[in-house]
Amino acid sequence: MRSMDAIPTGRLLGMQDLHEEEVLQLRRAQDLLQGVFSSYGYRVVEPPFLEPTETFARKAGGEFASRMYSFVEPGGHHVALRPEFTSAVVRLLRESWGQRPLPVRWQYAGPVFRYYPDEPQRPRQFWQAGGELIGTGGADADAEIITMAAKGLGALGLPDVRVVLTDMAVIKSFLAPFGLSERTQQFLLRNLSSLKEGSNRFQDLKQRAASVGLLRTANDAEAVRHALAGIAAGVKPPAGSGNDVNGRSPFQRSPEDIARRLEGKIARGDERARFDQALEAMARVASLQGGAGEVLPALDRLAASQRIDTAKLARLKAVMEALRLHHAESGTTANVLLDMSLAPGIGYYTGIVFELHVGGPSGPVLGGGGRYDGLLKALGAPEDVPALGFALPMDQVVAAINASGRGQARRRVPSRILVAAETPRVYRAALRTAETLRLGGDAVEQALSYRPLADHLDYAGATGLNSVVLMKETGETERYPVEGAAHDAARRTAQ
């Protein structure tokens, strides 16, 4: 039987090993981005990797919460590896509440962790860079964040950066007249992209809504009334009736609690009809996409036909105007598109939500963000504070840079040199030579053995070094260039 010590360990599924050039590419892209963010006055913060689980779970939404690496640490506290930065940054501000004037402009960069049980090939450790603007709620704040994020990607040399945005407050205003439960509204919001396809998806969504207990029929309501009458008479309902979505028996609760829950089910007895009406309304909204000159008038017409309060729509118009001012040199927002089917995967967004595309509006998405005005109070602040932010997935950003062929700003590539001593007698002199070369900006390896020059050249060629500097027995140095395909490929990669 093999001992545990003899079993080789391996890399965890979804975690990444990065080699030097990958690390350097990541850092170069991060440095360029953070330089852009700093030019807007955003200060660097670094929250810890571990936070209380509640920091992320309280407002993120059930689906997102299920992707967290959460566990009980040795001290008995429920903690989680950060799955994103926003909640941690908000927690940081809440703990220093009153110690700094608002607004605060903060930026960050570093690894985050998410668990994807159904996607084993998807990275579970990846890197983000982003920023948060907390304490101001005007349209100009939305425009600043959106413009800064887009300019950051542009500074990396990525082509045709486009912004695609929507407004969750506008979309929710079209849902408000139907009086749906919060859970049902969230279901519809998560499925906006499906509604974009029109009525051919209605039946599928209805079935899914019913399967998770969102829709009740008249028969359901009648059964609940019988159960309530039984409770009033002291009779337990039959096993399985009234179980919650987690399958727990109602008799784990008090009779009063059971009655309240069952009455709530009766109140939702007509939810199916209202759900059908909401599906049709949301499908009309989700179908709208294009430039502001096309989408905003269409939203006006829909709002008038459904007697929707237009205050939220006025705010969206103000954001589009603020973005136009940020692009005053061109007098247009042609690189900004509206897409009312955009559905964020995080539940705390309350207003503007946006994605950043490269290579045009149909190109890959390289991050995004939005407004989350209720999050600070949800995490314990004494009052609601307007806030918004964004994050860029750095792994994907670097991959897009490499694929574009345009790359980042060129940097000086240091020569990679092996310094070798011919004999032990001149080793000290070889050390001094290596240090001099390092001071000049070169990357220098010190040979730790005394081998023939041909062996040093073979090693240098195999490891991508540019040259070998040999300290001879006579005290003289001579540089030997390394040639061959291995060297050429390594230097092209470094550039």
Output the pLDDT for position 308: 86
Q: Other CB atoms closer than 10 Å to residue 61's CB: what's the count?
A: 17
The verdict on pTM exceeding 0.85 is no
| Residue bearing the bigger pLDDT, 66 or 270 | 66
- Which residue type, as a one-letter code, is found at position 316? L
Output the pLDDT for position 326: 79
**pLDDT cut 70: percent of the chain above it:** 79
Q: Other CB atoms closer than 10 Å to residue 328's CB: what's the count?
A: 8
| Residue bearing the bigger pLDDT, 333 or 45 | 45
- Which residue type, as a one-letter code, is found at position 329? E
Q: What would the mean pLDDT of 359-365 be, rounded to a whole number?
A: 82
* Cα 418 to Cα 457, 475, 483, distances in angstroms: 9, 17, 14
Output the pLDDT for position 127: 94
pLDDT higher than 50, residue 82: yes
Output the pLDDT for position 245: 39
Output the pLDDT for position 166: 95
Q: What would the mean pLDDT of 44-59 be, rounded to a whole number?
A: 85
Q: Where are the chain's structural domains? A: 12-160+365-410, 416-494
Architecture of domain 416-494: 3-Layer(aba) Sandwich (3.40)
pLDDT higher than 50, residue 273: yes
Output the pLDDT for position 346: 66
Q: What would the mean pLDDT of 36-51 be, rounded to a whole number?
A: 91
CATH of domain 12-160+365-410: 3.30.930.10
pLDDT band of 240, cuts 50, 70, 90: very low
Per residue, the 3-state secondary structure of 394-445, as one string, reads HHHHHHHHHHHCCCCCCCCCCCEEEEEECCHHHHHHHHHHHHHHHHCCCEEE
Query: What mean pLDDT, rounded, does the chain reach?
Result: 81
Output the pLDDT for position 418: 93
Locate all alpha helices (DSSP H) within 123-191, ordered by sequence.
Answer: 139-155, 168-175, 182-190
Residues 320, 294 contacting (CB under 8 angstroms): no
* Cα 357 to Cα 6, 150, 164, 394, 457, distances in angstroms: 48, 9, 7, 14, 46
Output the pLDDT for position 62: 57
pLDDT digit string (tens) for 294-328?
999 999 999 998 888 888 899 999 999 989 887 75
pLDDT band of 233, cuts 50, 70, 90: low
Report how far residue 429's alpha carbon sits from residue 415's, in angstroms, rounded to the nearest whole number.
20
pLDDT digit string (tens) for 124-163?
898 999 999 999 888 989 999 999 999 999 999 888 899 9
Output the pLDDT for position 11: 80
pLDDT digit string (tens) for 437-492?
988 888 888 998 899 999 999 989 988 899 999 999 999 999 999 975 444 544 44
Q: What would the mean pLDDT of 12-21 be, rounded to a whole number?
A: 84
Report how far residue 246's alpha carbon sits from residue 369's, in angstroms, rounded to the nearest whole number.
32
Hey, what are 99's tokens?
Answer: 């110690």
